[in-house]
Every structure is written in C-alpha cells, then in structure tokens.
Amino acid sequence: ILNVEQSPQSLHVQEGDSTNFTCSFPSSNFYALHWYRWETAKSPEALFVMTLNGDEKKKGRISATLNTKEGYSYLYIKGSQPEDSATYLCAPLSGGYQKVTFGTGTKLQVIP
Amino acid sequence: DAGVTQSPTHLIKTRGQQVTLRCSPKSGHDTVSWYQQALGQGPQFIFQYYEEEERQRGNFPDRFSGHQFPNYSSELNVNALLLGDSALYLCASSSPTGLAGMGSTDTQYFGPGTRLTVL
C-alpha cells in the first residue's frame, strides 16, 4: 500500500485567487498518477493522467505537474471560481491493472 | 449515453447481515473496479473485475467478494457485516487501453456510489 499524502487538507480562497496543492507519493515503482475532482453529491471526475517525469497537463484554468524522481505532483488553479469548489484527489499507481491508492484529498472552497 | 450507475443509493443493515451492491459500467467499458470510502479517508481499492474474473485485489478480507456478469455489470457482496464496513462504496469502469496492456493510464469513470450504514 502506498503512502499518499495530500496537502493542505482543506483550503478556502476568494473568487479570482489562484491556488495550488500538493500530492506526495513514494517515487519507487511509479507507473502513473491520476488527478480527480469530486464535487459534493456527484461522482469523482477524472482531470488528468500523468506518466512521465516533468509531465505538465492543462485543462482550462487547471494545470498539473509531475516529478516522479522526488515523488510529488502539484495541481494549480488559476483565477478560482465558485464552481471549482470540490475535493481534489490524487491517485498514484504502483503497479498495473489500476491498483490505485488515493490520497485523502484537498477540499477547496472558493468564496464568491 | 448513460454513465456508470449504482444501486441502491442508500442502504441500512445490521451487524452480521450480508449485502449486495450493484454496478453497471459505462457503455463500451469492460472493466469494473470497486472502492470503499470511509469517513475522512480517500477511496480504498477493493478489487477489479475484467472478463468475469477478479484481476486485482486490495487489502480487504474474504468477506468482500464480487462478481462480473457477461454484460460487464458487477456486484459487490459483503458478508458478516461489521460496524466498520459503514462507508460509501464506489464503482468505476474503464476500457483497457493503457501502456503494454497494464491499464495504468486508463481513465476510470465513477458512479455516484452506494452509502452503506451498518448498525
């Protein structure tokens, strides 16, 4: 079982602020890392899958970077909007067939 | 296109009972994974089914078992329920296209979950 840590646990930002949070994981035997957004009362939604050291992914105002050598990934949100309020989960994979280990998530609240 | 569906939405059971949760994958998907999310934790991987076989399993006791049907839908069964089994149970489906068939980059599509309460 991987030790996956996400920080901070929760975050309150004002609308328009940019923010970022971290996912830390063991760097050995790394295969891939997924980021998910989970809005209250909805299903987790896939944001990115990242595999290579130095990978950068972007989807609208949300972007992510990956450092597999030191075992961390950053998720950035530029100009946060209330609809960005959700829990953001990272899930690194240490082996095949999607035996994923989820972090506990970062709960983001964007205040209008 | 219907996404991943799960039933029931909520369920209340007592200790010692058995429960069956159901999942229908997204159209075109043949792989189903089950997760347990206890309060304050991230989802924990239970097992994954592909071609009606359990392909991978997390650290859950044998009380947790599953099945996949020829139409790719799946069931999660939990026997001898404990209070600690109270959680949100999530089902996710995918279609394996990942690197070297390992599936590690496949996007999973999650259902809304079944909230199980054990009294």
Distance CA A32, CA B105 (A): 6
Distance CA B82, CA B75 (A): 19
Distance between A95 CA and the closest CA of chain B, angstroms: 7
Beta carbons of A35 and A27 less than 8 angstroms apart: no
| Interface contact B43-A89, CB threshold 8 A | yes
- pLDDT at residue number A101: 82
Q: What is the DSSP string of chain B?
A: ----EEE-SEEEE-TT--EEEEEEPPTT--EEEEEEE-TTS--EEEEEEETTEEEEE-S--TTEEEEE-TTS-EEEEE-S--GGG-EEEEEEEE----GGG--TTPPPEE---EEEEE-
- pLDDT at residue number B3: 92
- pLDDT at residue number B100: 37
- pLDDT at residue number B97: 55
Q: Minimal Cα distance from B33: which residue of A?
A: A98
Instruction: Tell me if chain B has a CB within 8 Å of the CB of A96.
Output: yes
Distance between B88 CA and the closest CA of chain A, angstroms: 11
- pLDDT at residue number B102: 43
Grouped pLDDT means (10 residues each) for chain B, 119 residues: 91 98 94 92 91 89 97 97 97 69 70 97
- pLDDT at residue number A99: 62
Nearest to B105 among A42, A43, A49 (CB): A49
Instruction: Tell me if chain A has a CB within 8 Å of the CB of B108.
Output: yes
B80 Cβ neighbours under 8 A, 6+ residues apart:
B16, B18, B63
Distance CA A40, CA A51 (A): 28
Distance CA B92, CA B76 (A): 12
The ranges of chain A with pLDDT < 70 are 1, 95-99
Strand, coil or helix: what is A82?
A: helix
- pLDDT at residue number A28: 80
Instruction: Please name the residues between 48 and 77 in chain B that touch chain A, using a CB distance below 8 Å.
Output: 48, 50, 55-56, 58-59
Q: B55-59: long-range contacts (C-beta < 8 A, 24 or more apart)?
A: B55/A97, B55/B31, B56/A96, B56/A97, B56/A98, B56/A99, B58/A99, B59/A1
